[in-house]
Amino acid sequence: MPDTAISVEGLTKTYRIFQGGQVSNRITDAVINRLRKPLARPKYEEFRAVDDISFDIPWGEAVGIIGRNGAGKSTLLKLLTRITAPTAGVIDLGGRVGSLLEVGTGFHAELTGRENIFLNGSLLGMSQREIKRRFDEIVDFSGVEKFLDTQVKRYSSGMYVRLAFSVAAHLETEILAIDEVLAVGDAEFQAKSLAKMREAAHSGRTVLYVSHQAQTVTSLCTSAMFLERGGLSYHGSVEGALTQYRNTFESFQVEQRDAANRPGTGTLRFTRAAVTEQSQDPVDDTVVEFAVGTNPSLVGKYYVSCHINDAEGNVIVQCDSRLTGSWFDPSEPQRGAMIIRSLWLKPGRYTVDVFVCQAGEVLDSWEAADHFDVLPSSPYPEMSSDDAMSYGRVLADFRYEVER
């Protein structure tokens, strides 16, 4: 067996983005355009999703890959699992690679759960003998035994996810790559999934895990990488990677103020997003003011979503305007505020991400739009030592009642 599970040198992936007008999707339009402009040549802009990355990963390591949207995390995983080919560089894999990049990839809606286990297992690289030997474990782990002979199109999203993850988690491969799938399912299944990944790493397999959630990376991984704009900014301890993530917030925030640097289709953009009070007490309301531009050609209303994150990127709360029946007309500029009440945030720094969305499509994704600090004051009537509030993500408005 090679000394390292994965060895990468000078890895680069470049995409060409078409520039200069609308692309024809009908052959008649393409022929007419060519006749009108016979000498015209398409123009492309090169985009480096992964830029000259080199690293070595030893056997038995559980490696977290963190970074903000567009940093190249998912692209790197697709390169390592041979889903896409690199533009340059060398990837040396010491064993078979199993991957779970998009939950349910390879599932057929018309087939039953039982049939999809064999189909999906084969697509992921398992032999029929391996699948039969692990079949009972897969079914038991997924918890969908009662519905095994039901078409998966009739499954709930949770059942679908559990079965898909169970198949991939029981792959007998030396390297396992996972992209942000432990964030799905209920709390019990997430705990089972984390335990399964720890078991995989402790058995000598190498686990690669892409996530936005620092808490999961801390729980699962023994080391971490921090990617920034396609480059490898840090490779070492999990705490070191999270520190690097926090330290780059201000430069990332400045960059994201330019809408051209932000992800999304760009058909509609925020023109402003700001927290009204940069310093707050735990019991204070959090108010995020926002303004969105106009696009009369955009059909249908849109909604706004706001995430409050802790300093390590964990989403503390998601405030989606759909939940309050607030929809916005793109033909008119919009100004408003999102107000959070009764959320007792613990002392520390928090960041705000805002999103403009329509029918499942993200029009503007403004991460690090603003930040605020919650002051180290206690909302409780009694004084106590720090360990009385050391656990949990938020503080709670609670009381004890005792029968007498």
User: How confident is the prediction for the chain on average, in pLDDT?
Assistant: 86
Mark the ranges of the chain whose per-residue pLDDT is less than 70: 1-2, 18-25, 39-40, 42, 101-106, 180-187, 201
Burial 225-262 (b: 16+ CB within 10 A, else e): bbbbbbebbbbeebeebbebbeebbeebbeebeeeeeb
Q: Which CATH number covers residue 333?
A: 2.70.50.60
Those residues with Cβ within 8 angstroms of residue 399's Cβ, 6 or more apart along the chain or in another chain: none
Whether residues 119 and 52 fall in one domain: yes
Residues found in the chain: 404
Domains contained in the chain, number:
2
Whether residues 69 and 174 fall in one domain: yes
Does any domain span residue 399?
no
**What pLDDT score was predicted for residue 305?**
96
Whether residues 271 and 241 fall in one domain: no
Pairing of strands 334-340, 286-292: antiparallel
Whether residues 93 and 192 fall in one domain: yes
- Evaluate whether 210 touches 204 at the Cβ level (below 8 Å): no
Whether residues 129 and 268 fall in one domain: no
Does any domain span residue 382?
no
pTM of the model: 0.72
Whether residues 167 and 275 fall in one domain: no
Does any domain span residue 313?
yes
Does any domain span residue 384?
no
Q: Radius of gyration over alpha carbons of the chain, in Å?
A: 24
Residue 337 pairs in a beta bridge with: 289
Whether residues 346 and 228 fall in one domain: no
- Evaluate whether 94 touches 5 at the Cβ level (below 8 Å): yes
Does any domain span residue 389?
no
Does any domain span residue 45?
yes
Q: Which CATH number covers residue 47?
A: 3.40.50.300
Those residues with Cβ within 8 angstroms of residue 203's Cβ, 6 or more apart along the chain or in another chain: none
**What pLDDT score was predicted for residue 247?**
86
- Evaluate whether 182 touches 207 at the Cβ level (below 8 Å): no
What is the DSSP annotation of 5-52?
A: EEEEEEEEEEEEEEESSPPP-SHHHHHHHHHH-TT---EEEEEEEEEE
Whether residues 269 and 241 fall in one domain: no
Last residue of a domain, one of 215, 247, 279: 247
**What pLDDT score was predicted for residue 12?**
95
Nearest to 221, CA basis, from 58, 5, 63: 63
Whether residues 69 and 204 fall in one domain: yes
Contacts 24+ apart (CB under 8 A), 153-160: 153/109, 153/110, 155/113, 158/184, 158/185, 158/186, 158/189, 160/103, 160/104, 160/107
Give CA separation, 283 vs 61, 280, 311, 319, 346, in Å. 42, 8, 19, 18, 10
Q: Which domain holds residue 351?
A: 264-374
**What pLDDT score was predicted for residue 23?**
56
Whether residues 225 and 283 fall in one domain: no
User: Which secondary structure element, helix H or strand E, spans residue 210, and what is its range?
Assistant: strand 206-210
Does any domain span residue 289?
yes
> What are the tens digits of pLDDT across the range 50-97?
999 999 999 888 899 998 877 889 899 989 988 889 999 999 998 878
> What are the tens digits of pLDDT across the range 217-236?
887 888 999 998 899 999 99
Whether residues 212 and 282 fall in one domain: no
Does any domain span residue 153?
yes
Task: Give CA–CA dist 249/150, Å, rounded.
Answer: 47
Last residue of a domain, one of 247, 276, 302: 247
3 state SS of 132: helix
Whether residues 56 and 183 fall in one domain: yes
Burial 208-223 (b: 16+ CB within 10 A, else e): bbbbbbbebbbbbbbb
Q: Which two tokens stand for residue 124?
A: 């992921």
